Amino acid sequence: MAALTLTALHASHGGCWLRDGDVTRTISKGEAVMAAADTALLILNAPLVATRLGYPDLSGLDVLELYAFVHPARFVVPTPKGLAHALGLTEPQGDADVARLLQQAAETLLDTCEAADWPEREGAWTALQSLVRMRWPWATLLTGRIAKPQRAERWLFSRLPEWEESADQPQPRQVLLDEADVLHRLEDLTGTGAEQRPGQRAYAAQAAYAFTPRERSGQPHLLLAQAGTGIGKTLGYLAPASLWSQQSGGTVWVSTYTKALQRQLRQESRRAWPERRADGTQPVVVRKGRENYLCLLNLEDALQGGFAGRAAILAQLVARWAAYSRDGDMIGGDLPGWLGTLFRQRGITSLTDRRGECVYAGCPHYRKCFIERATRASAGADLVIANHALVMVNAARGRDAAARPTRIVFDEGHHVFDAADSTFAAALTGAETIELRRWVIGPEKASRGRRRGLSARLADIVSYDEAGAKAITAARAAAEALPGDGWMQRLAEGAPWGPLEDLLAAVRATVYARDESGGQEAGYGLETEAADLDGAFVEISQAAREALADLRQPLMRLGLRLEALLEDPPDWLDGQGRARLEGARHSLTWRIDLLAAWEALLARLGGPVDPEYVDWLAVERSEAREFDIGIHRHWLDPMKPFASVVLEPAHGVIMTSATLQDGADWDKAVARSGAEHIGVVPRLTEQESPFDYAAQAEVLIVTDVPRGDIPALAAAYARLIEASRGGALGLFTAIRRLRAVYGRIADRLARAGLPLYAQHVDPIDTGTLVDIFRDDPAASLLGTDALRDGVDVPGHSLRLVVMEQVPWPRPSILHRARRFAGGGSAYDDSIIRARLAQAFGRLIRSRDDHGYFVVLSSAFPSRLLSAFPAGTPIRRISLEEALHRVSSHASGETEPEGQNAGRS
Ligand code: SF4
């Protein structure tokens, strides 16, 4: 087909460029908005361009949407440079070149659709017919380029392969690993000829301890392993893990906190296991929570009218991806993280099974379901790569007790405490209760979707089993007492409806009356302890408790009825129905437990304080807008339930991290492992980092940027980023300050050719932001907690970390209780040291990395300096001196020196 030249628009903080035909000119923002309102322009990442132009309604021909259609499930960094790399085009040298690149990229992608060897051709023609009807801007340009296939294309749902049922796994053989064999396996994994790393060898030998046969029931072998950055701990534990699984036939679970490490593990495990076994099964499986995967039934519903407008186009692009996806993982898998944000709404989450509405074998796609496939594959795997939350949830309420993990490596082990804290917490809030109401009753408004209540999901019980039908009717009636649509509005108007809304109204009133955090004016969330509540509040909470009990009773009766039906199946119950009942029984148990936890929480209000828990009332707000209200309960020490649910049934557990210890102190790590709750004495091991921190890094404590002075803070960030020529990661403890700094410096840096990106500002998901940062050594990235240890960027792209201040913990009610129990300021100090150590750990990821770690703090306490690795030079200096050091290094004048200016 003849080449066509589309008008392209590029907008960055540095300006706007319009290319019409083959002429590019700079234009003002106003002209850019007018041009975009006039015609559908070629753009890259419409939401981002819209933010740059301050024109939220921007739409056009987004090259990323075309890319998602032409190359579904193929990785691309969504920047001009990333696009150029993915398509084999010349990288643009500056902003002025980008509009031309967009034209070339569009041509290349459109041409691909005409090429005979387009690998993702199948399904494209059929999807295009739907997209034409939906008036997708690209559809007319694609029509005529995609040839109608000679034979009708298979529907997505018939193309996907079915998973195979397999026999239950026998229990693993008890084997004793020989140390020489472990070290030999390590050599196999690292490769012959690789340099021998003594720290890694010692680590692997120690890790084998977790795989020795257990001597006593309830007493796992527990190893706490401090592994300095760069020792190669991943292969260090994969060596004994792979040997053990080979000899025993059992499964090892490796649990991580970040997606970056999951990705790395997936790659490193290739050294020990092939992609597929001879029988076609997978020895290594990545498992995530079910809310991460595409639910095919939800997708089918979306494709058949459940989604309208732009969301319907998103559903088509997701369907294209589903046919080529490795595993159907929508969050952090091979679905581009940027796809959801292009459509500026929550379409992605409504395609997953987030609300637990799965109908299991009652689903027409059950045998092709990505979630079921992952679950089955993990049962027969040698290695399961999962995350902390999933391992805990699986141990607490996994469907299949026999498939629960017994040999577990918690990598990024310093996060186990936080993961346990949220897993074992209870929250009785408006958002949670309305979810439960919808799960029982179904949605209130006539919804376009397939979401249905319990009676629709268990239609055969309703029709054939009287006792079951009665229980469902009773549950439905009792669920009416839970908050319904518009609850927040009714509370704001002082007109709550029903016992639970009464409770939430009382919570709200109490929180506003008591909160003294200073958050009321600042627009933050508010909270107050659940203590000394008055008689009226206690009365309301008891009425709410009774309403919850009234719902729990029929659900329990229904659960018992399902069990009876499964034990003695009636004629009408076929195999499919049976699997459906099993699934329903599982999700019922989970809801019954949830209701019981809420009742227990309410029962204690007004009574004596239980020292095991911390309870508080909260109004969640974002920029002064309320979004949830409720009562929260956390364990004072969440490692107590963790110990009984995860550790006790396990045979061997490793907790490992570069920041497990607090300085050289093991006490905190041992206390935070949960070992003492089950009377286990963990084995401790420590391997130091092989990096030469004295030569590779410097800590600069800048003492003359006044705290709370936003203009000065912004200026310091801008100048530091300019001094290092980008490559900076800026870490903030408050989103408000991050936004203020970003707003002041982004334009200035862009004009100097130093792009700046920011979490909570740019409409781009965090994973993609890190990909963009990694890909461009001139780019810098600002962010909050998630970036403190979710960023793994070895090499030149990250050479400066700047913390805006000492990362003090937020003085929440939960923190105050733990601080009191944990030794006051010593508790705070250990949290801050851990945060500093994690942030510092971003800087030096390999032997060739060099960089500066800057903290802007006029009064950095000396007792926190032990957070940094021994030997790292630390200087307290002025901003001018810091700029001098950073810029001289950036221009190649000096390397960070080995001399230590003192740790005080
Ligand atoms: S089995 Fe459940 S999760 Fe899977 S596609 Fe069907 S409804 Fe969705």
Q: Which residues have a Cβ under 8 Å from the Cβ of 572 and sit 6 or more positions away?
A: 460, 464
* 295 within ligand 1 shell (Cβ under 6 A): yes
If one residue of 300, 330, 363, 399 were mutated to test the ligand 1 pocket, choosing by the most ligand atoms within 8 A of its CB, it would be 363
**How far is ligand 1, taken at its centre, from the CA of residue 304, in Å?**
16
pLDDT band at 902 (very low <50, low <70, confident <90, very high): very low
Task: Report whether residue 584 contacts ligand 1, using a CB cutoff of 6 Å.
Answer: no
Roughly how many angstroms between the first and final C-alpha of the chain, as a whole number?
70
Confidence of residue 445 (pLDDT cuts 50, 70, 90): low
More confidently predicted of 50 and 333: 50
- What is the rounded distance in angstroms from the CA atom of residue 320 to the CA atom of residue 305? 17
What's the per-residue H, E or C state across 41-63? CEECCHHHHHHHHCCCCCCCEEH
pLDDT at 895: 46
Q: What is the pLDDT of residues 509-551, one digit of tens each?
A: 999 999 887 766 666 789 999 988 999 999 999 999 999 999 9
CA of 290 to the centre of ligand 1 (A): 10
* Residue 482 near ligand 1, beta carbon < 6 Å: no
Which residue carries 């939401």 as its tokens? 47
Of the candidates 244, 78, 15, 23, the residue with the CA atom closest to the CA atom of residue 764: 78
User: Six-digit token pair at 157?
Assistant: 């749902």
For atom 2 of ligand 1, which residue has the closest CA?
A: 358
Pocket probe mutation, ligand 1, options 299, 351, 369, 451, max atoms within 8 Å of Cβ: 369
Q: What is the DSSP letter of 867?
A: G
Q: Which residues contact 574 (CB under 8 A, 6 or more apart)?
A: none
| Residue 624 identity (one-letter amino acid) | A
Dist CA 228 CA 226 (whole Å) = 6
Which of 125-134, 254-263, 355-364 is predicted with the least confidence, judged by mean pLDDT? 355-364
Dump pLDDT digits (tens) for 233-245: 999 999 999 999 9
27: alpha, beta or left? (left if phi > 0; alpha if psi -120 to 50): beta
Q: Is the pLDDT of residue 449 over 80?
A: no
Cβ of 371 less than 6 Å from ligand 1: yes
Ligand 1 site, residue 297, Cβ cutoff 6 A: yes
Task: Check residue 897 and give its pLDDT.
Answer: 45
The residue behind tokens 């740790």 is 903
pLDDT at 711 over 90: yes
Task: Evaluate if residue 2 carries a pLDDT over 60.
Answer: no
**Span from the CA of 467 to the centroid of ligand 1 (angstroms):** 27
Q: Considering the chain, what is the average pLDDT of its residues?
A: 89
Q: Greater confidence, 4 or 39?
A: 39
Please tell me the predicted confidence (pLDDT) of residue 655: 97
Reported as a single tens digit per residue, the pLDDT across 382-425 is 999 999 999 998 888 766 666 688 999 999 999 999 999 999 99
Give residue 252's pLDDT.
96
pLDDT at 898: 41
Give the number of the atom of ligand 1 that is nearest the alpha carbon of residue 295: 8
Spell out the alpha helix ranges (H) of 90-144. Answer: 95-112, 124-133, 139-142
Single-letter code of the amino acid located at 312: A
Ligand 1 atom with least separation from CA of 361: 1
User: Per residue in 650-671, is it b (16+ CB within 10 Å) or e — as a string?
Assistant: bbbbbbbbbbbbbbeebebbbe
Q: 903 pLDDT band (50/70/90 cuts)?
A: very low
Cα separation of 129 and 123, whole Å? Answer: 10
Cβ–ligand 1 distance for 731 under 6 Å, the answer no
Confidence (pLDDT) at 402:
61
pLDDT of residue 653: 98
- Helix 95-112 vs helix 63-70: crossing angle, to nearest 10: 30
- pLDDT score at 894: 46
Mean pLDDT across 45-52: 92
360 lines ligand 1 (CB under 6 A): yes
Asked if residue 370 has its Cβ within 6 Å of ligand 1, the reply is no
Closest to 757 in 3D by CA, of 742, 744, 771? 742
What is the Cα–Cα distance from 699 to 680, expressed in whole angstroms?
38
Amino acid, single-letter form, for residue 894: T
Query: Mean pLDDT lowest for which of 583-597, 624-638, 787-801?
Result: 787-801
Q: If DSSP codes are grouped into helix, strand and coil, which group holds residue 615? A: strand
Predicted confidence (pLDDT) per residue in 286-329, tens digit: 998 888 999 999 999 899 888 888 999 999 999 999 999 989 99
Quote the pLDDT of residue 3.
Answer: 52
pLDDT digits (tens, 9 = 90+) for 621-679: 887 789 999 999 999 999 999 999 999 999 999 999 998 888 778 988 999 999 999 99
Average pLDDT over residues 104-132: 95
In the chain, pLDDT over 70 holds for what percent of residues?
95
Helix 29-38 with 46-53: angle, nearest 10 deg? 140
DSSP state of 163: P
CA distances from 824 to 805, 820, 836, 840 (A): 21, 5, 19, 25
359 Cβ below 6 A of ligand 1: yes
- Which residues does residue 356 pair with via DSSP β-bridges, in sequence order? none
Range in 93-107, 556-570, 671-685 the model is least confident about: 556-570
Ligand 1 atom closest to the CA of 296, numbered from 1: 5
Whether residue 6 has its Cβ less than 6 Å from ligand 1: no
Average pLDDT, integer, range 766-777: 89
Looking at the predicted structure, is the pLDDT value of residue 825 above 70?
Answer: yes
Q: Is the pLDDT reported for residue 573 higher than 70? A: yes
